[in-house]
Amino acid sequence: MGSYDLIKLNVDESCFGCQIDQNINQFWRLISAVVGEDLAALPYAERLPRLLTHGVGLWDVLGECEREGSLDSAIRKPAANDFERLRTLCPRLETVGFNGQASGKFAPQFDAAGYRTVVLPSSSPAHMALSFEQKLDVWRRLAQVQDRAPAAGQAALF
């Protein structure tokens, strides 16, 4: 889970992909290494459906907010996404990974609901205290449950 979708903020998705290609935001590199497929090489519109084939979905913890730019520290007026709707849409969801500390603040709610949670080092350019390899070591914890294939139409989420 991320904090909030850049596309909802009217940030051009090709710009987001460009940032990733320049190794500024490491999300697609990290998740590609976890699932074993170079998703970053795909056009952006093909990445999410392809990610689902690996039993992985994406969802933001915030349904709405105000934010200039992409930094979580710039988030104002946050409103949580509808977690009950997520439970309804993904009844077999077992593991929830949080991309960074901002979204990780919601981990206790998911723990209390019985999910396995992993708060991951952020893929953001604002979190460069760890190398890509150090981040990847933590992100690979998500794959520990991914060895079990999801039921048809069902995805794990992180």
Active site residues: 25
User: How far is residue 128's CA from residue 94's CA, in Å, rounded to a whole number?
Assistant: 29
Torsion of Cα atoms, 4 then 44 then 155 then 73, to 10°: -20
CB-based contact 13:6 (threshold 8 Å): yes
Query: What are the φ/ψ torsions at residue 76 (nearest 5 degrees)?
Result: -130, 150
User: How far is residue 113's CA from residue 110's CA, in Å, rounded to a whole number?
Assistant: 5
Can you read off the two tokens belonging to residue 30?
């990290």
Buried-exposed string 77-107: b where 16+ CB fall within 10 A, e elsewhere: ebeebebeebeeebeebebbbbbbebbbebb
